[in-house]
Structure formats: structure tokens, C-alpha cells
Structure 1
Amino acid sequence: MTAQPIEQAALDAALETPEVAKPAARRRLSALRSLGPYLRRYRLRLLLALLMLCTSSAAFLAVPLAFRGLIDHGFVAGGQMQGHFLGLFGIAVLWGCASAARFYQVSWIGERITADLRSAVYHRMLDQSPEYFETTRTGEVLSRLTGDTTLVQTVVGSSMSMGLRSFFQFTGGLLMLAVTSPKLFFVTLLLLLFVVVPLVMTGRRLRKLSRESQDRIADSSAVAGEVLNAIPTVQAFTNEAYETGRFDDAVERSFTTAIRRTLMRALLTGGMIVGVFGAIVFVLWLGAQSVASGAMTAGELTSFIMYAAITAGGVGVLAEVWGDVMRAAGATERLMELMRAEPTIAAPAQPRRLPETRQARLQFDRVSFRYPSRPLTAALDGLDLDIREGETVALVGPSGAGKTTVFQLLQRFYDVGAGAIRLNGVDIRELHPNSLRAHIGLVPQEPVVFSTDALENIRYGRRDASDAEVIAAARTALADEFIVRLPDGYQTFLGERGTRLSGGQRQRIAIARAILKNPPLLLLDEATSALDAESEALVQRGLEAAMAGRTTLIIAHRLATVQQADRIVVLENGRVIEVGTPAELARSGGLYARLASLQLVS
């Protein structure tokens, strides 16, 4: 089962009407209506759960009638007392079996909806470009994926069922009150209206506080996620106390908001229970007067009391459920905000296909680009560059020259502002992003190592690779020599973010991953920068083997690593200012020559 069809349906439902255009009451309903596509997928189970709910509620509502018959007819001379007790037991059996079946069905639906919703939101986040995460903190996304979906699960898998059951009991109880004593029923109904309506109005404030509470929880999660991922830096600068205080402040704001929400919910629940029970006690007093005057039998009063208790109990549970529903509405709103986020990089309606080739030709045609977060600064300004098949080209220049931007645009993490980038003659905007990236291998300057073993970390480059192919790639990158010395060899768990490896070892894992992918275009972002001199010389041989007969683009900060490049392109302020072989540029006296004089001359 895939989450994508559900995700699209949910997205369509969420986007039917702009959120800002709806009144507050409609927004409350629309937030939960966004769950409709997820629920409709399991309509048969929902119908079964509803059937079991109706059955258990009907059995429950039959109990007072059975007691009425027992009191009025079972205790009199000649009454069939045994039959009345057997009837009560039969009702209990039916009630218990139907309740158990209902509980199982709604719990299954709740867990399934939560899993689908988490998958859909996660899928949506993976579609987002790096631009999205410039303004959205990953900690907040994780909070919504866990905390908010759990709130939705509570409502769908528990509170919704309890609410429907209580609603049936409430309405059924009112109906039976009307049948038992129309006079007392109308008095009860009038009193309930005076009690319930003001309390329902209070629920609007509760929903706003519920949303605010979830936002504060997300804030504290974001702070914790950011700091825990940077523990060495925090400790190196002895900022543990500062970060503890910052997290404590976030937690305290979350606590304060949660207490305000809890107080509002407590007042809502208490006011509803006191008001409803007060009304019912008054009605029961009237009923007692009717029994004393002979207008009602003892059995009728008993059943009326039981139905009144059922009605009051239903209202009390509805008050509790209403609080959960309000929290879930806020959580659903937050999840739908993620679902409504449109990826800035989208596949064309009819993507073109690239020919399968071991090499690639790149053309940058007057490419200009500005990062969305820095619209006044040109990262690239009219870049022209033609890279031939099988050529190795190094990008050199000071920080901020545009080298990394070239890599990000090539992988279409962003789209060019002007001009075009062509791969084998095809504008990369006409390709599906997955197809484009399948033709590119990347070795980043700061390699990513996942929380799994060495074998699977390298296999990340090509998921269908065999163990033998993975090991061969590791040997080419000279990662095999340290992997086999690990406690469990290739099955050794490498720790979160590769904490059990040195920087150089992590980089060789990344090189092996790119070699295993075997792409036509290889991007090396200073791939040997974290290695010592001996390891660098060994890995450089592995990289040369991977680069043979393949188009390679290198970002070079250390000029010693690119002396064998076919050409060096010197960038400054997003423009190409020099192009040539290392020897030609060294003689030209330009920026490269000045950088070389600083790095290469001892």
C-alpha cells in the first residue's frame, strides 16, 4: 500500500477552499474534513465499526427497559423473574461482544490512519527542495510527524468512537426520556439548552489554545534537535548552560500554554457536568413528586433515572471528547500546512529521457541565479561554460564565488533564474529530477553516514547492488582496508551520523557510494579534504579509477588536488574570469596564479 494516492486526495481536499477565506467555525470543521480521504480508504471497516457501535448502544439503551420490566412485573406475584434476569444477561452478552468488536475496529482504523498520514507527510517533505528547509526547521517537522499525528490517532482510534457512542447514548437517552415521561423530558431538554450552549461557545477558545500548545511543543523539539545534532560544538564552546537555559525557556513556554489549555478544558468539563447533573437532579425531584402522586410507576421512575444518568454520562464524555477533538483539529491544521507545501522543483508534464551513456556533456548558457533567502546578491551572473564528454574540470575560486551553487543547480535543487543548463543537449528543466540525479554521482565535502552498517551505507549509492559489488566499490575507494578491521566488518553499525568513524573514513564511505552508483557525471566537492597525506594519495588513485572515461566536475579549495585536471575554471563573484590548464593559468598571473603562489609554493 502506498501513501501517495492518499496524500494527493488529502491535498486536494485541503486545498478546496483557501483557509484564510473561511469563517472560524468552518475552519474548525474543514481541518478535520481533511482526514476524509484517509478515512474513506477504509470505508468497509468504518461501516462495520458503525454497525457494532449501533448494536452496542442499542443494547446499552435496552438495559433500563429491562430493569423497568423487572421492577414492575418481575417482583409481583406470578411474575417471570427468571426470564427477566436471563434477558438482562443476554443484553449484557450482546453489549460486551459488540463493544469489543467496535473497539478493535476503531483502534485498527486509528493506527492505520496515523501510519498513512505520517507516510504522506514524510513523502511530501522528501519532495521539497533545500529552499523549503531554509525557513522550516526539521525539528518542527519531526514534532508534527510524531506529536500531531499521535493526537489525530487518539481522536480517530479512540475519542471519535467514544464521542459517537456517547452521542448515541445521549440522543437515545433523550428519546427514551420522552417516551417514558414527555412532561419531564421537555423540562430536561429546556434546562440542557441553557447549560450546554454557553459551554459549547467556550470550546472555540479551547481550540485556539490547543493549536498554540502544539506550536510551543514544536518549538522546544526544534531547539532540542538542533542542539543535539551539534553536541561537539556546544561542548567545545562550553555553552551547555546557555543551551540548557534556551531549552528550559522553550519548555516553560510550552508548559504555560498547556496549563492554560488544561484550565480551559477543566472549566469546560466541570461546567458541563455540574450543569447537566444539576438539571437532571431537579428533573428527578419532579419525577419523585409524580410517583408520590401516583402519576408514574416505580419502574417508570427507575428507567427514567437510568436514562437520565445515561444522558448525563453521554454529555460528560462528549465534553471530554470535545477537548480531544479541538486538539486534533489544531494538530490536523498543522499537518495540512505541511501537506499544502508545494515543491518549488517539479517534474515537467512530459519529461524527456536522457540517453544511457557513460559520459556526459555539460553546457552552462548565460546562467544567472540568486538564492531566495538572498535576493539582492547574485550567486551566479551570466555563467558560460562548456564541459566536454570525459573531461575533468575543476572549479576554483574564493569563498562565495559560486562553486557550490553550480553543483546545486546541476542537481536541480534550485532552478536557474536566467539562462539554461544542458546535460547531453537537454535542458535539465525538461527532465524528471529523479532521472537527472540518477545520472549524477556526488561526493560531498561533509559526507553523510546513516545509522546502519557499512554495507548498507555504501549500498545507498545503488540499492539493487549485490554484496560483491558493494565490496568492490569499497576496495576501489580504499574503504575496505578499515572496514574489515571493524568489529563486525561490513556488518558493523557505524553509529548515528557515522560517529564511530573518523572524518577520512566517512569520506571514503561517500566515495565508495559514488563509485557504486557508476554515473555518467561525477561531482567531487573537495573529496579528499578530510584525509591525511598518506590516505589522500591512496584515495586519489581510487578516484582516478572512478573518473576514468567519465565526465568529472571538481570543486577545489586545495589546488594540489587538481593539478591533473584537464581544465581549471576560475570563478569570482559568480562569473568565469579564467579558464585553462593548471600550467597555463599559473603563467597568466591572474587570480589562479596568486592562489597557487600561496598554496603550492613552500
Structure 2
Amino acid sequence: MTDSALPKSEPKASPQALRGLAPFLRPHRNRILLAGLFLVLAALTTLLLPLSLRTLIDNGFVPADPDQRIMALRHHFLALFGVGAALGVFSASRYYAVSWLGERITTDLKRAVYAHVLRQSPEFFEHTQTGEVLSRLNSDTTLIETVVGSSLSIGLRNVVMGTGALVMLVITNPYVMAQVLGVLVIVVLPAMASGRRVRRLSRSSQDRLADASAIASEVLNAIPVVQSHTAENREAARFGASAETAFGTAVTRIRARATMVAFIITATTGGLLYGLYQGTQAVLAGQITAGHMSQTIVYVILLISSVAALSEVYGDVLRAAGATERLMELLSTQP
């Protein structure tokens, strides 16, 4: 086998490669809008929970009469249940719509890639290993399905929730908001730098997996020849070496991502505890009510957890960007 005829481009340190999926997204614009609507409704419903909690704490125990107090508590708990039920309906609808899109777009992409490969010249198949094409057709499309059908939706939801929580913090407690912004800067900038490295390693890991698949496909397609030359041990060793190289690259990627996750969790936990401390001091000083503090804490949790989730999603998006680059290279190959 000669070297692959597929182009080998240097990976770019940005998710812009996902723009190559635009032709596969356009036919499903209405579905995308519907999924976006459910996503926004689910995020806004989540933002109502802290307000309901504040009302429960500040007003649920106000009536002096025990019977009135019980009725007030029932009313507030029913309101909380209504918010939770709405969140469940909107979240389920978002999940169905987004998962459908992921499956549909992945299927369309596989069909397009397969049809394009079949139209290539005989020279293409002489220079390109079948295993490499199969790896792009299966492994890379699976990565894209994960992002389109799950990670991207989670990322957009956290953008809406994080923005809404930030706006509410600005309205209710500007001082805490300024401190939280400082925590966000500390978390986001290193996470983005680490995410770029994860993407480069992800692209390299996908290439090594494709190499191993190509070797297996090449040998199995010519197994009579291999056995006639008693080359089973040699070919097994060659595949084993390729698989170990892929494993080593994957471990390096996993280590880089684990480091990023450890930093994000540690930083967000520290920011949350600091915000909690500031809130308790304000309650003791009589500056805010206990309900106000509870609302602020929940919004801080939503904001910081949204940023942490976005950092996680960013890593998945970068992996999918590498997979998209590989598939677009294959689709751009001329017969």
C-alpha cells in the first residue's frame, strides 16, 4: 500500500471547521428552530426556580396564624412543582428534537460521504486504504453525532442560563456579580487554552485510530496471501504497534482533558464558597433577607456551573471539529 491519497491538513485551533456541516443543517431549519425554542423555554424555566425559592423563604412563613401559614406554604410548594413540571416537559421536548437532529444529520452525512467515495477513480482506491475511509465514515460521524445531538444543545442551554443568571445577579446584587465575573475570567481563559491543545490531540488520536483500522482492513482483505507467507505474527505485531500508538495518543489527550476538568471544578468550587460566605455576612448585617441570599446563591451556582459545562462542551466541539475537517477533506477529493 502506498501513502493515502487523502489530503493531510494541519488542524486549526478553532471550531470553525464545523461550518462544513452547514449544507446538512439547512434542510432542517424548522426542526432546528423548534429545538431552539424548547431549549430557551427550558433554560428560562430553570431561571424561575431561584425566584420561587426566594418567595417561599421570605413569604411562606410570614402569616402568624398556623392555618394561614400552612396554606401559604402549600401555595408556594405548588408553584415550585409547577415550575418543575414545566421544566420536565420542555427538557424532554428539547432532548427529542435535538437527538432527532443528531441522528438525521449524521445519516445524511454518511450517505453523502459514501456516495462521494463510490464516484472516485480507481487510482483513489489504489492509494487510499479502505480502513481509513471506514474510520472516517464511522468514528468521525459518531463524534459529530455526539456534538450535534447532545453537546451543542447542552452548550446553548448553558449560554442562555448563564446569561440569564448574570442578568439577575446584576439586578439583585451587583457586588456579588463583580466578584463572580472575576472567577469566570480565571476559569474561562485557561480552559480555552487547554481546549485548543485537547483539539490538536483529538485530531491526532483520530488519525492514529484510522491508521490501525487501515492496517486491519488491508490485512484481512488479503488474508490468503498473508497466511501463504506465514506472516500472521508479523502482521499481528504491526497492528499491535499501531494500536499502542493510538492508545498512547489517547492517553495524552485524556490527561490534558482531566487536568482541565480538575482546574475548572476547583476554581468553581472556590468561587461558590466565597459567594456563599459574602451572602451569609450580608444576611447577618441585615442588608439582605435569607430568601434574597438563597436566590443569589442559586444564581451564582447556575452561572458558574454553566461556565464549567461550557468548558466541557468546548472540548467536545473541538473534537468534532477535527472529525469534520477529516470528513470535509474526503468530500473535497476530486474523482
TM-score where L is the length of structure 1: 0.52
Q: What is the alpha-carbon distance in structure 2 between the residues aligned to residue 43 and residue 141 of structure 1?
A: 30
User: Match of 2:3?
Assistant: none
- For 1:134-533, what aligned pairs fall within 5 Å after superposition? 134-343=126-335
Choose the corresponding residue for 1:70, options 56, 62, 79. Answer: 56
Q: What is the alpha-carbon distance in structure 2 between the residues aligned to residue 335 and residue 218 of structure 1?
A: 12
CA offset at residue 235 of structure 1?
1.9
Q: What is the alpha-carbon distance in structure 1 between the residues aligned to residue 281 and residue 206 of structure 2?
A: 51
CA offset at residue 191 of structure 1?
2.4
Choose the corresponding residue for 2:122, options 124, 127, 130. Answer: 130
Structure possessing the higher relative contact order (Cα contacts under 8 Å, 6 or more residues apart): 2
Contact (CA 8 Å) 1:64, 1:302: kept in 2 or not? Answer: yes
Which one has a bigger Cα radius of gyration? 1
Q: Any idea what the Cα deviations from partners look like across 1:138-192, whole Å, max 9, x if unmatched?
A: 1100100000000000000011111111222222222222222111111111222
Q: What is the alpha-carbon distance in structure 1 between the residues aligned to residue 141 and residue 15 of structure 2?
A: 18
User: Match of 1:490?
Assistant: none
Q: What is the alpha-carbon distance in structure 1 between the residues aligned to residue 61 and residue 142 of structure 2?
A: 51
Q: What is the alpha-carbon distance in structure 1 between the residues aligned to residue 221 and residue 128 of structure 2?
A: 16
Q: What is the alpha-carbon distance in structure 2 between the residues aligned to residue 232 and residue 137 of structure 1?
A: 18
- 1:34 alignment partner, SS class: helix
CA offset at residue 340 of structure 1?
0.8
- 1:35 alignment partner, SS class: helix
CA offset at residue 124 of structure 1?
1.1
- 2:99 alignment partner, SS class: helix
Specify the code of the residue in structure 2 equivalent to 1:172: G
Q: What is the alpha-carbon distance in structure 2 between the residues aligned to residue 326 and residue 29 of structure 1?
A: 6
Contact (CA 8 Å) 2:15, 2:317: kept in 1 or not? Answer: no
Structure having the larger proportion of residues in helix: 2
Specify the code of the residue in structure 2 equivalent to 1:264: A
- 2:334 alignment partner, SS class: coil
Q: What is the alpha-carbon distance in structure 2 between the residues aligned to residue 323 and residue 58 of structure 1?
A: 25
- For 1:33-48, what aligned pairs fall within 5 Å after superposition? 33-48=19-34
Q: What is the alpha-carbon distance in structure 1 between the residues aligned to residue 36 and residue 93 of structure 2?
A: 10
Q: What is the alpha-carbon distance in structure 1 between the residues aligned to residue 23 and residue 268 of structure 2?
A: 36
User: Match of 1:81?
Assistant: 73
User: Match of 2:105?
Assistant: 113
User: Match of 1:447?
Assistant: none
- Stretches (4+) displaced over 3 A: none
Q: Any idea what the Cα deviations from partners look like across 1:187-237, whole Å, max 9, x if unmatched?
A: 111222123212212211111101000000000000011111122222222
User: Match of 1:556?
Assistant: none
Contact (CA 8 Å) 1:273, 1:315: kept in 2 or not? Answer: no
Q: Any idea what the Cα deviations from partners look like across 1:522-545, whole Å, max 9, x if unmatched?
A: xxxxxxxxxxxxxxxxxxxxxxxx
**Match status 1:56 vs 2:42:** yes
Q: What is the alpha-carbon distance in structure 2 between the residues aligned to residue 256 and residue 115 of structure 1?
A: 31
- 1:131 alignment partner, SS class: helix
5+ residue gaps, structure 2, are 1-8
Contact (CA 8 Å) 1:273, 1:312: kept in 2 or not? Answer: no
Contact (CA 8 Å) 1:139, 1:222: kept in 2 or not? Answer: yes
Specify the code of the residue in structure 1 equivalent to 2:271: A
Specify the code of the residue in structure 1 equivalent to 2:311: A
User: Sequence identity, in percent?
Assistant: 50
Choose the corresponding residue for 1:102, options 73, 94, 109. Answer: 94
Structure having the larger proportion of residues in strand: 1
Specify the code of the residue in structure 2 equivalent to 1:209: L
Q: What is the alpha-carbon distance in structure 1 between the residues aligned to residue 256 and residue 27 of structure 2?
A: 35
Contact (CA 8 Å) 2:188, 2:311: kept in 1 or not? Answer: no
Q: What is the alpha-carbon distance in structure 1 between the residues aligned to residue 275 and residue 296 of structure 2?
A: 10
CA offset at residue 24 of structure 1?
4.1
Q: What is the alpha-carbon distance in structure 2 between the residues aligned to residue 270 and residue 36 of structure 1?
A: 34
Q: What is the alpha-carbon distance in structure 2 between the residues aligned to residue 177 and residue 249 of structure 1?
A: 55
- 1:341 alignment partner, SS class: coil
CA offset at residue 276 of structure 1?
2.0
Contact (CA 8 Å) 2:275, 2:300: kept in 1 or not? Answer: no
Q: What is the alpha-carbon distance in structure 1 between the residues aligned to residue 187 and residue 150 of structure 2?
A: 26
Contact (CA 8 Å) 1:151, 1:327: kept in 2 or not? Answer: yes
Specify the code of the residue in structure 2 equivalent to 1:73: N
CA offset at residue 319 of structure 1?
2.2
Specify the code of the residue in structure 1 equivalent to 2:243: V
